[in-house]
Every structure is written in C-alpha cells, then in structure tokens.
Chains A and B, each alone.
Chain A
Amino acid sequence: MRPFDYIRPTDAADAAERISGAGVKAIAGGTNLLDLMKLQVETPKVLVDVGRLDMASIAEDGAGLRIGALVTNTNTANHARVRADYAVLARTILAGATQQLRNKATTGGNLCQRTRCTYFTNTDQPCNKRKPGSGCGAIGGVARLHAILGASDQCIATYPGDMAVAMAALDAKVHLTGGATGERTVPVRDFHNLPGQTPWQENVLETGEIITAVTLPPPVRARQIYRKVRERSSYAFALVSVAAIIAKEGGKIARADLAFGGLAHKPWHDPRLSELLVGETPSPALFEKVADTLLDSADARGGSDFKIPLARRTLIAVLTEATEDQL
C-alpha cells in the first residue's frame, strides 16, 4: 500500500468535485479497493470516501425501485420488495462472496469491482489492464477464469461480479453524477466495456463521475432464476452463471431476458436470445439453437475452453428449469 490522503466529502457534488484528476479514487465498502491497494495494484494518491453520503436507501421509483449506490449488498438482498419482485437480484447477491463481505459491499462498489485475473493482481507479472503495454500474462498462462466472449488480444479477463448479471437481465439503469454531462443514466448492459485495446477502461465512468443509484424497471411476473456454476458450493466466483427472467403464456414463451456471468469482460447480454425465444414453444431444439447463438463467436484461447460446453449446458439447464411446469 502506498501512502494516500483521505477525504470525506459532504455530498455527492462535493465528492464528484474532489474525484478529479489522476490518482483520485472513490472508496465505499473497501472490500475490493483495499485488497488491491495492499498489493499495489491500485495506488491512489487520494481516497474520497463516499461511504457516508446520503445514498444508502432503497425507495420506490414509480412502479420500479431505486437502490442507492451505498446500499449494502445485504440490505438489497434482504429488502422485501427486492425479494418479492426482483428475486433474481436477491439470488445473485446471495450467491456472491460471504455474509461478512456482503455486509460491507455496496451497490456502486460491486458494479465497479475489478477482475480476479491473477496476473492482474500479481504486480510481478505482465498485465495490460494494470500496466498498459506490458502484455497479457493470462494469454498462454493459467486462464481458467477467463473470457470466452468479447475478449481481445490485449486482455481476456472477466468481470467477476454476480449482482450486475441480474441487473443486466432486469435491464436496470445506472445513475451517474459528476461527469462532463452532469447527471446521466446508463443501462447496466452498457455500463461495462469490452477490453478492446484499452482493457484498463472497464466501464463508462468518466473522471470525477460517481454512481448515485441503480433503478430497476417495474417488475414483471416471470420466473426468475440465477444459476452459478462453481467448483465449491459457496464463496467462489462463477465459472459460468446465468440470470434468467422468463415468462410463458399459453404454452409459448412471452418474455425471456437472459444475462451471463463469467463469460466476458462485462455481464453478457445478447439481444438475439430474446428474439429467438419469445413467441416460441419451449423445446430442446429451441434451447440448442439459443445456445448456438450465444456461443457463435466463442473463443477460449486455452485455459477456459471448458466454459464453452459449460455455458451451453448451463443455459439449457436454466431454460429447461424456467419453462417446465409453467403454463
């Protein structure tokens, strides 16, 4: 850890003003940032502690719900409306980390958590994300956790989080403040970037911009599933995960929103999948076709080859579960 200055801003505007220039970072629960600072993967000169700002409540937002950037993962997962109307969100959160971590982890911090690529966290290894131009250690190395969709020759890391996968399936919106354009709203589906040639630009946050809240659209009556595949049954990041919100009407699929974790540099959402599913009668052949589409550009570059069949099978399992015994 490098020495740093610590600032406690008075409100969101003050925070945004102070988070300007290189070397300044926001800190919320600290469960990701502090670990990375100890390893000197992150070396901010100034920490702006947004943790005490007034962004820690969950409120009705029309028929939807507004979850403040500082609501802890525990409070979101336990919230009565979340559990009743957005079960997939509660499920993704509870599938992540541990109770102790979830008590500290926040909405904003969770969205911005960084990859678990172990070349990224090992400062004695090359990594384009940590040190632009140094190369990608994971390519040709140990890359079990790595991407099969949307990767580049510069970086094959995955976004590791669970919560954002549900938010992508729900088509939630991220509310930002403090950037050049002032307040703005970005769909969760567009919040994270693919690595391309700039793997260090992980999301659309501009300098000085902070997350204030995430809003969820009005709830839908649908089956909501989160399936997280991993070697041990808890306290591990997803090898592959699928969030699904699926409704049937008259034997046909009326709604199908899917998002995937563990496959890419962002929670993966492919609009073609809904198009294939909606209006169709569920069948193994249909599910195979959906899986083919999801994976038509899959490329594993070595260590994560296994994720291609695993993603296929997990998706089919979820679609099967979501559509059986549902009229």
Chain B
Amino acid sequence: MTAYFKQDGPVDGAALDGMAQGVLGRPVPRIEGLAKVTGTATYAAEYDVANLAEGVFVTATITRGVVKSIASEAARAMPGVLAVISEARMTTRAAQGTAGEAPEQEPQRVSYWGQPIALVVAETFEQARDAAKQLVVEYDADTGVALDPATATSEPQEDEAIDMGDLNAAMQAATYSVDMTVETEGHASAAMEPHAAIAAWEGDKLTVHASLQMLNYNISELADALDMDETNIRLVSAYVGGGFGSKLGISEDVVAAALASRELGRPVRVVMSRQQVFQCIMRRSETWQRLRLACDADGKLTGFGHQARVSNLPGETFAEPVLQSSHFLYAAPNRSLSMDLVRIHRMTAGSVRAPGEAVGMPALEMAMDELAEKAGIDPVAFRLRNIPDRDPEGNLPFTSHGLAECLRQGAEAFGWESGTRKPRHRREGEWWIGTGMASAARVHNASEAKARVRLTADGRAEVETDMTDIGTGTYTICAQIAGEMLGLPMDRVTVSLGDTDYPRGPGSGGSWGAPSIGSAVYLACKALRGQLAKRGNIDEADLVLKDGAVEGGRSVADLIGGEVLEEIGHYEPGTNEHDYTSSGFGAFFAEVRVNHWTGETRVDRMTGAFGFGRVLNEKTARSQCLGGITWSIGTALTEALHFDPRDGHLANPDLAEYHVPVHRDVREVEVLMLQERDPLASAIQAKGIGELGMCGGAGAIANAIYNACGVRLRQLPMTPDRVLACLRD
C-alpha cells in the first residue's frame, strides 16, 4: 500500500514527538560508520566484477573547436588495448542537478579545455592510462574564444530580477549607505571520491555502479543518453564518498562506461583521475557582485540592491543563484536585484556546495557590516533591526524563522561584545586579532520522495529507497525515524539505500534529502502503525510502541502474526511551497588573527547558531554544520580555481594546489542548534541543513579581518597577498 501525503499546509507533528522509543534527535553514531572506517563499505569503483575492462578518458587540449582526427593505431597496437571509443552519445559535461535528461553532446565538438573526447579501453587500468596518452589528436581550433568573464557577452536573467520602489532615490536620500563590489573566485566541489562507474549489460539490461547523488534523476538522464527505457536500467550508489554538488547529474564516466561495455560485450570500469574530476565536472562560477544598501538614521534599511554577474558555457542554463536569499533576508521597501550570465569557455558551471548563498551571502554580509559601522550600530543589533515579518518581495509569510534567535543565542555563546566597534584594537605580538559576525540563510526546499518500510515476521523493520547517503547521515536518520515510529531499537532497523530497484527517493542535493526522505519514511511508518493498531484492536492514537512491543502488551512480531507488513510512504510538497517562503537561518561569529608581517589569516574560533526545524540526529546535524563552517573557512581564505588566461585551462586541478582547509585551519568550532519545529517545511517538521553552515560564514571571517587589522577586502579568498596589498603599517 502507498501512504501518500501532499503538503498543502502545516502538519500536526505532535505524532513524532509523542513516540516512546526516544531515538529520534539523539546523537546516534552513523550506522554505516564502522563499515566505512574498516574499509568494508563498497564504493562505486570497488565492486569485484569478473572480466572487467578499464576505460580512461582522453581530454581535449584546445579551448573550442572540433576534433578533426584521432590517430589511434599506435594506441590500439599497445598491449591490452581493446578499443578507442569516441561516439556521439558520449557526454562531455556532467548533467546539471535535476536535469532528468542528457542529450547528445558529440565529444568531437570541444567547448572547453580538458573536455573528454574519447575513451581508451584496455585490459588493465595502467594499459588504458598509458594508451590514452599516446593518442594523436588533430584539431580545428577556434581563435578568439571568450574566456574572460569581465568582458564576455552577458545575458540578463529576467527570472532573477526584481525592482520595487526606487533604489536610486533611496540611496540618495539615505542617511547612510554603501555601494561596493565584491568578487569571488571559482570553486570546485572537491569531494574525496572521484567520479567512477562500472557498467555491465545482461542482454538489454544495464546495471551501473556509480558515484551519484540523485539516482531518481540520474536514471532518466542515463536512459536519455543511451536512448533506452528506464526500466532496463539499474543504478547502484550504495555509498558515495562526498558529492558537494558534483554528482547531482549523470557524469561523463557513467555514460562512457555504459557505451563501452555495450560495444565490448563485457563490463567496463571508468574512474576519473583527480585532474579530470577537477577539469571536466563542475565549477562554481566566479562572481562579481555589487551591493547597494541604504538605511535611515535609526539603522532601518530603506534600500537594498544586489546585482550579480556569473558565468557559464554557452548552452548551459545554470546561473549561480547568488541572489537567492537576498530576496527575502532583510526588509527594505526599495529593492533592485538583478543578475547577468556571461558566456565563457571554462568547464560547466553548476551546483557546488550551497550554490548561490555560499558566495552571495558573504558578500551581502560584508556590505551589512560596512553599513552597520557607518550607522554606528552594533552589527548584531543592526541585523535584528532589519528582519522582515514577511517576505519583502512576495509578501508571503515565512515558515519557521529562527534568525533573531540564532543571532541572540550565537552572540551570547560566542561572547560577542556589543557596542561600538573599532578595528585594530587588539594586538598579540605579530597578530592583529578581531571578531566579526554574519547572518546565515539558505532557502529550504523539499522534494517528492518515496520509501518502502517493511515489518518482517520477527518484528524488524527494513527501509528501502533509492535515496543516497553521500556521507551526511541519511542511513542513520532513516533508521531513527523508523525506529521512533515503530518502537524499535536501532539494531532492529536496516536501511538499504542507493539502488534504483527501490522506490524513488528525492536524491541528495539542495539540502532537501533529510526532510524529504524522512517524510516518506515517516508516512510509511505511520501507515504501518495504523495496521498494527488495527491488529491489536487499539485506537491508533493510543498505540505506544517501544522496544519491539506495544507498551505493556503484545510484541510487534506477535501482532504481525508471521506475515510481512509493507507500506510505501510517498511525500510530495504541495501549496506550502508557493504560499510561504521557507529558509534555514543562522548566525556566524568568528574570531580571527591576521599576521601583521605576512598577511596570513587564521580563524581562532567560530560559533555557528542554526535554526532548521527539527534536529533529526544531533550528531550528524552538528557534523553538517561543522562541515559547512569548514567550507566557510575555505571560501574565506583559500579556495580558488585558477584559470589560464590564454586557453582557459584549470591550472590547479588537484588537491595539492586547490586548497581546502586542513585540520589545523579549523580550530575551535562551536555549533548551536535551535530546538525548532517547522510544520510547513516537511511532514517531519525538519528543514535542510547540509548547506546552511557555509551560507554567510566567509562574511563573518571577512568582517573579523576588518575588525582585526582595518582592512576591508573585497575579493575572496582573502589570501595573504590580498591582505598585504591593503594592510597599513
């Protein structure tokens, strides 16, 4: 049976809170954790498949043009080489998240340096990798290809634009105002596990083990790429070694492995090298942003302008949604928001860890800090003063709104000294020390999701869905929800994820995983409770299940009576999506030190307070926040893709030179989570949390740098050279 629920309004969540098992919300360690740390969790490339051939990509060495010929004779003659494949159906770019399609891209047409153009398949990986280097490719290269986002042609993004009142007039009339630009550099997802796929055919049936985030969309994308029926495809991603957006859409390895396997009549594995992952999956676009903020003498915002320019390849529709939270975060009657997309030939720009807010929020929060300073108002107080009651553009009510509470709790936990702030007021030896803060916001989305929950004859629960766990804790929260609802301890719940033979989940992306799949599991369990109540002749509302039995009564196994009970929970967002504005909120506080001599910046401590509805698991939720704060530090201080100005190739395509924070960069981090219930966010009153922790944090660090050493940097990352260029002695 299917228990379907479409959310057209608030849910009565008392149900979950009234359960007796007491596992939900607890800091339960990840149930697959032991398998992972002992190396027994099998990742995409690690399946033991007989007769496996190995494929390695050959990538383009021009920026744009066509492949005239590929001389592959020498490579084909090398020991072990089986094939050199370059056919029209191969993809040259990863699909965008939720695309659901992957049209023909013709690898012979090159649109960025480093694009896959062919796949060499051999008996061993080493043979294939060597042979891939021996191909002689002739190109017809275009000249004058657009590479510089500052000068390329731009397309206004009408959907993103809004004009209310008169911003120019508000700026002129303002008692205080700021008009500033911020630039941020491109980012890579930098997931640990590279993109990898093993494809095998049995007749018309294709099975691919791959590293993907959203199997529910990926199956349609693969079907489209191969022009076949979804029902003949099985995708398996039981464990994913980090995605961060880079595995939302079907990637080139998956399609190529499937095509090669069909051609050779044997299983084929394609694992991208680290350099290939960097240069042909996804980048976060660099951004140019102009912020115009105006306020009156009391520090009430009267004007709000946020203008952004981002880039992508021609033909790609994705535009880094920089303005996403700017639309509703602060009240101001006169508003002007707009976005331009420029076309350049770097690899596809797509979703990378908190697309939009990851770079838009820091810029906004840097501007807010400057304006608070001008107005002589404490930055926390300044934000508190400008929180709107309703979405200032759509005039919609918010679902839960924890910003004020996060600002207050965060400030207290951090020990924020309110009042007038002066830069360069604290020095320890060579170090300037300062503090700064920023708001956090990340739009909340939920997505359609299905999960099957089965009660077995011996009274255990089994959860099945094609939802993925990309290291975030999905296995664990599914088990907790089922355990809570069905009165089972954790060791009596098994969760199977990442297999398209199971009901369609929502996929892991946009932080919607937990609220959406959690709602589906909840609905299935609720229906199972109904069945159990009926069997026990108990009113469902009075059914108390704990440790595998009705409290003070029969065991669940006994109630089931040797049968197997099964329900599919099916959750779908409804009118709540349009009737409300929903977002996670939070506040960041940072203390940094800036070296007077070298301009090196280190984050001594950070506090993040977040409100995102129900906390499903204190430990995994906290870990998500810690991860977000870690990425905030990367965004602020180190992460930048460096592109060659002449051919647009990525000059730092590995983890040695693309600098994500290391342990030593992440010192003391404190995370506070509000105890919140959001009845409009999902059936389990939870919002997304994955991305929120990096939506604004870099702004807190920038503001702290200013407070420390008096330098307002307008470019991220704030590397020593940039600090030094502005630092006064």
Contact = CB atoms under 8 A, between A and B. Distances in A.
A152 interface: no
A236 B717 CA distance: 16
A233 B649 CA distance: 27
B646 A239 contact: no
B657 A116 contact: yes
Contacts of B61: 124
Given A118-B657, A313-B598, A231 B637 contact: yes
Interface stretch (B330-338, B541-549, B719-727): B719-727
Contacts of A237: 656
Interface stretch (B397-405, B453-461, B608-616, B661-669): B661-669
Interface residues of B, number: 39
Contacts of B599: 310
A124 B597 CA distance: 38
B662 A235 contact: yes
B133 A40 contact: yes
Contacts of B597: 313-314, 316-317
A306 interface: yes
A232 interface: yes
A125 interface: yes
Residue of B595, B597, B659, B724 contacting most chain A CB atoms (<10 Å): B597
Contacts of A239: 720-721
B598 A317 contact: yes
Interface in A217-238: 229-237
Given A1-B129, A141-B651, A142-B644, A309 B665 contact: no
A123 interface: yes
Interface string A123-153: 1110000000000010011101100000000
A272 interface: no
B714 interface: no
Contacts of A234: 662-665
B285 to A, nearest CB: 18
Nearest to A98: B662
B720 A229 contact: yes
Contact of B645 (A141, A232, A309): A141
Interface string B654-683: 001101011111000000000000000000
A123 B133 CA distance: 9
A306 B659 contact: no
B602 interface: yes
Residue of B130, B656, B659, B663 contacting most chain A CB atoms (<10 Å): B656
A237 B31 CA distance: 38
Contact of B724 (A125, A145, A313): A313
B166 interface: no
B237 interface: no
B652 interface: yes
A236 B126 CA distance: 29
B643 interface: yes
Contact of A141 (B133, B600, B637, B644): B644
A316 to B, nearest CB: 7
B724 A306 contact: yes
Interface string A36-71: 001010000000000000000000000000000000
A128 to B, nearest CB: 17
A142 B646 contact: no
A125 B665 CA distance: 33
A142 B651 contact: yes
B642 interface: yes
B598 A229 contact: yes
Contacts of B653: 118, 122
Residue of B130, B600, B602 contacting most chain A CB atoms (<10 Å): B600
B662 A310 contact: no
B638 interface: yes
A125 B656 CA distance: 19
B263 interface: no
Contact of B430 (A3, A125, A306, A317): A317
Nearest to B129: A1
A141 B129 CA distance: 27
A54 B697 CA distance: 53
B651 A232 contact: no
Residue of B126, B651, B656, B663 contacting most chain A CB atoms (<10 Å): B651
Nearest to A302: B645
B711 to A, nearest CB: 14
A125 B647 CA distance: 10
Nearest to B78: A3
B665 A2 contact: no
B719 A231 contact: yes
B605 to A, nearest CB: 14
Contacts of B656: 116, 237
A148 to B, nearest CB: 12
B178 to A, nearest CB: 27
B130 A233 contact: no
A237 B652 CA distance: 13
Given A140-B646, A142-B642, A232 B598 contact: no
A306 B600 CA distance: 13
A275 to B, nearest CB: 24
Contact of B646 (A38, A141, A144): A141
A33 to B, nearest CB: 15
Contacts of A2: 130
Contacts of B644: 137, 141-142
A118 B155 CA distance: 33
Given A2-B130, A118-B651, A317-B597, A231 B659 contact: yes
A295 to B, nearest CB: 15
Contacts of B659: 231-232, 236
Contacts of A317: 430, 595, 597-598
A213 to B, nearest CB: 29
A40 B275 CA distance: 14
Contacts of A140: 645-646
A140 B651 CA distance: 12
A144 B645 CA distance: 13
B652 A142 contact: yes
A232 B661 contact: yes
Contacts of A313: 597-598, 724
B40 to A, nearest CB: 22
Nearest to B599: A310
A307 to B, nearest CB: 8
B664 A310 contact: no
Interface string A1-44: 11100000000000000000000000000000000001010000
A115 to B, nearest CB: 12
A141 B661 CA distance: 25
A2 B130 CA distance: 6
A1 B126 contact: yes
Given A141-B644, A239-B720, A310-B724, A232 B133 contact: no
B215 to A, nearest CB: 31
A314 B61 CA distance: 39
A280 to B, nearest CB: 21
Nearest to A140: B646
B86 to A, nearest CB: 17
B649 A125 contact: yes
B649 A232 contact: no
Contacts of B598: 229, 240, 310, 313-314, 317
A230 B657 contact: no
6 shortest A-B CB distances, which residue pairs?
A306-B721, A317-B597, A142-B651, A124-B61, A233-B664, A234-B664
27 contacts: A1-B126, A1-B130, A3-B130, A116-B657, A119-B651, A122-B651, A123-B133, A125-B649, A141-B651, A142-B651, A142-B652, A144-B642, A145-B657, A229-B720, A230-B600, A231-B637, A231-B659, A231-B720, A232-B661, A234-B664, A234-B665, A239-B721, A306-B724, A310-B599, A310-B721, A313-B598, A314-B598
Given A124-B61, A140-B646, A306-B724, 20 more contacts: A1-B130, A116-B657, A122-B275, A122-B651, A122-B653, A124-B59, A142-B643, A142-B652, A230-B600, A231-B637, A232-B638, A232-B659, A232-B661, A232-B662, A233-B662, A233-B664, A236-B659, A239-B720, A317-B597, A317-B598
